[in-house]
Amino acid sequence: MEYKIEVNNQEEVYDIGSVAKHASGAALLKIKNTVILAVAAREDKAVEEDFLPLTVNYVEKSYAAGRIPGGYIKRETKPGDFETLTSRIIDRSLRPLFPKGYGYPTQIVVFVLSCDPEVDLQVAALNAASAALYLSDIPVNKCVSGVRIGKIDNELIVNPSNSQLKKSTLDLYVAGTKDELLMIEMRAVSSIENGCQSINEMNEEDMVEAINFAADAISGAAMVYEEVFTPIKKADAELEYKASITNDNAYLHIKENYKENVYAALTQMAKSERAMELKKVLELILKDETVISANWDKEAVKIALETFKHNIVREMIVKGRTRADGRGLKDVRNISIVTNILPCAHGSCLFTRGQTQALAIATLGSDQDAQMHDMLTEKASKVDKFMVNYNFPGFSVGEAAPLKSPGRRELGHGNLAKRAIEPTIDKNSLYTIRLVSEILESNGSSSMATVCGGSLALRAAGVETQKLVAGVAMGLVFEDGDYAILTDIMGLEDHDGDMDFKVAGTKDGITALQMDIKLGGIAPEILKEALYQAKEGREHILNLMEEAASKIVVNEKILPKFEIFKVDSGKMVDIIGQGGKTIREIIEKYDVAIDLDRENGDVKLAGISRLQVDAAKEHILSIVSNAKGSFDRGGRGNSKDRHSKIVEFEKGTIIEGTVKRVADFGAFIGLPGDIDGLLHISKLAEGRVNRVTDVVNVGDKVKVKVLFQKGSKIELALESKE
């Protein structure tokens, strides 16, 4: 049965009870031409361990956009970054709704079956997943709504279309229920006006206004969802919840006899020392005659100690206004910054804050190094010229864990750092930039260390970013009606606190924000206070970063050189030469990469030596200035070109030919009449092609269209391939 719901600037049509009937809950959501299937399923047997076994998988189907998957295997395989990040958003939004003690393996699967290019898939996916979960027999009794907030012409807009979002200076994604916010992600979007690029950071006042705007939209939508879905919701299944095994007597015994021991363990300065001392306290308690005679379970005593430790940490913060490492609530840990410590890397920075350490490395490349990936909502492949890779090896937290490919956490942290830094990079930069963060030590906020170290690594590589960006992780603790806001939280405070939110930005405002709320709603005035306190911490860090940046010595000798200049587009054939001979000679002689844009007349050069790039540029300009129609009848060329009759093809003619040779810039096609034509890489497909051999190879039979002919110079476009 279909249910039409008008919420937040869009009509959502939910088809309930028609598909996936064996699952615990399912919903088919239609928004315009987008169709999303969300399914919630659970096992009947709970796990023994004390955790919530929830798995969320968001999967995009290529057929949703009328495509066949690229690559050798013609089916969906490993999820892309967008799918992984969307799965993470859904998980973070729905996980807090499960009742305490729920231990049944549960899976939420979201399939994109049809894709309208104007519909926000992340908003639709979360709303569909929430509906499937709420309608199921799983005991979740709140609906979640996700909204995206844009800002166009200084006006906030709820759920802008994808076309509108490209014009927005703000990208804010918020999820919550009718009563509380659960998750926030934000990024500033740089824009170019009158030739000048603006970062579009958000100040704290505007940030609070945008979040409140989102909260109102979420509250209204969630109430509508519950009103529509409650009558058709399945009854909650009769499930057994894991009871707390905390031993109250053990807790009181620890409180009365070991309070000072726990305090002493918590005040150890090093994370490893703190863990070791707490382990010693546990061993001491287990040898206690009272514990032995009462025959208390070891696991129950361990949980009682953990609960007492948790309460002590919170008491120290809220009542004592101090922290386990002796800092005040607003104090940032000691910071150490060393730049360009890797002599062969283009730019590097070792950023250490307390016991968190990130080694950030920047590498500069050309257009060919850009990351290409497909988006369902985009016709052509997206080209990403700024990449951030975050790595978190086990040794960073003292574990002997195997090295594995990046998981959701690594991708999420890398994406947060990218969102924070990207607005400061020139949109028209010739460079493709890869920023890698190797986390060497971790005790809270390694993603924010990545932002700080990454921003400086770019400067160390000679990238002229508009401003430096710093990040700081904030915490919040509520206790007995009072609260405390913490700046630069460590792992202990993240674990025992009520909220973790990360704020990154310049001295003028916020460029990225991520917030996960554990306790439910947060009052706007507290959020505002927290953002302003984050601003103080950010400014403190930025002052230290500015000082370090002023001392950077860029190693110009190892940096690649990029040059772009224009020539008469009609002279491009002279740069290429007969059969590509001239351009190959330039590439080999000067050790450079050359990219020609025949439509705009742009010539892009890239090389590892500034002198070689400059020399190649002069050589090309010399060829262009001396060109008189090379290889044309009456011009330069061999005797066969000058005296043999050249076959003339009419513009638009479709010809069958054979690929004779492949170069970086295109392929040479053998045509009837013993003449070759150039099939440039830009004419191989509608979208961008990274390598010519991805489309054609030597010996392939192809049909080509004649675009231009002047004598023996023939330009072609690919029509089809046999």
Convert the pLDDT of each residue in 63-89 to its tens digit.
999 999 877 788 888 899 999 999 999
Q: Which two tokens stand for residue 326?
A: 């002796």
The pLDDT tens digits for 293-336 are 988 888 889 989 999 999 999 999 999 899 988 899 999 999 99
pLDDT digits (tens, 9 = 90+) for 611-669: 788 888 888 988 888 765 433 333 333 434 433 456 788 888 899 999 988 877 788 88
The percentage of residues in the chain with a pLDDT greater than 90, rounded to a whole number, is 58
What pLDDT, on a 0 to 100 scale, did the predictor assign at position 34? 98
User: What's the confidence (pLDDT) of residue 688?
Assistant: 76
Interval 414-448: pLDDT, tens: 999 999 999 999 988 888 999 999 999 999 889 99
For 289-303, write each residue's pLDDT tens digit. Answer: 998 998 888 888 998
pLDDT recorded at residue 639: 37
Class of residue 481 by CB neighbours under 10 A (exposed 0-12, middle 13-18, buried 19+): exposed
- Predicted TM-score of the model (pTM): 0.82
Q: Which residue's structure tokens are 């206790």?
A: 479
pLDDT tens for 479-495 read 888 999 999 999 888 88
* Contact between residue 462 and residue 438 where contact means Cβ atoms under 8 Å apart: no
pLDDT at 609: 74
- Do 544 and 508 form a contact (C-beta atoms < 8 A)? no
pLDDT at 709 over 90: no
% of the chain beyond a pLDDT of 70: 96
Contact criterion met (CB below 8 Å) for 592 and 560: no
What is the pLDDT at residue 628?
52
Q: Between 2.40.50.140, 2.40.10.10, 3.30.70.100, 2.40.30.10, what CATH number should domain 645-721 receive?
A: 2.40.50.140
With bands split at pLDDT 50, 70 and 90, how would you rate the model's confidence at 715? Answer: confident
pLDDT mean over 524-552: 95
Say if 2-232 and 645-721 have the same CATH topology. Answer: no
| Mean of pLDDT over the chain | 90
Q: Is it the case that residue 374 has pLDDT exceeding 60?
A: yes
- Residue 627 has a pLDDT of 63
pLDDT digits (tens, 9 = 90+) for 207-246: 999 999 999 999 999 999 999 999 999 999 999 998 776 7
pLDDT at 641: 41
Using pLDDT thresholds of 50, 70 and 90, give the confidence band for residue 459.
very high
Question: For the domain bounded by 2-232, which CATH number is listed?
Answer: 3.30.230.70
- 258 or 650, which is more confident: 258
Cβ atoms of residues 110 and 58 within 8 Å: yes
Q: Does domain 560-626 have CATH number 3.40.50.720?
A: no
Q: Tell me, what's the pLDDT at 266?
A: 87
Q: Is the pLDDT of residue 248 over 80?
A: yes
Q: Using one digit for the tens of pLDDT, what is the confidence trace for 44-60? A: 999 988 889 999 999 99
Per residue in 171-217, pLDDT tens?
999 999 998 899 999 999 999 887 789 999 999 999 999 999 999 99
Which structure tokens are listed for 158? 């709820």
- Calpha distance 435→593 (Å, rounded): 22
Residue type, position 529, single letter: E
What is the model's pLDDT at position 245? 66
Domain 335-555 has CATH 3.30.420.10: no
For residue 636, the model assigns a pLDDT of 35
User: Is 80 exceeded by the pLDDT of residue 571?
Assistant: yes
Q: With H, G, I as helix, E, B as strand and everything else as coil, classify residue 196.
A: strand
Where are any strands of DSSP class E within 43-160? 54-60, 106-114, 145-152, 155-158
Maximum separation of any 2 CA atoms in the chain, in Å: 111
Query: Where do the domains of the chain lie?
Result: 2-232, 248-318, 335-555, 560-626, 645-721
What is residue 645's predicted lDDT score, i.e. its pLDDT?
55
3-class DSSP assignment, residue 629:
coil
Task: Give 338's strand partners.
Answer: 350
In the three-class reduction of DSSP (H, G, I as helix; E, B as strand; rest coil), residue 348 is classed as: strand
Q: Which residue has the higher pLDDT, 680 or 550?
A: 550
Using DSSP's 3-state secondary structure scheme, residue 84 falls into helix
Among 538-542, 566-570, 688-692, the minimum mean pLDDT is found in 688-692
Distance between CA 108 and CA 129 in Å, rounded? Answer: 7
pLDDT at site 269: 66
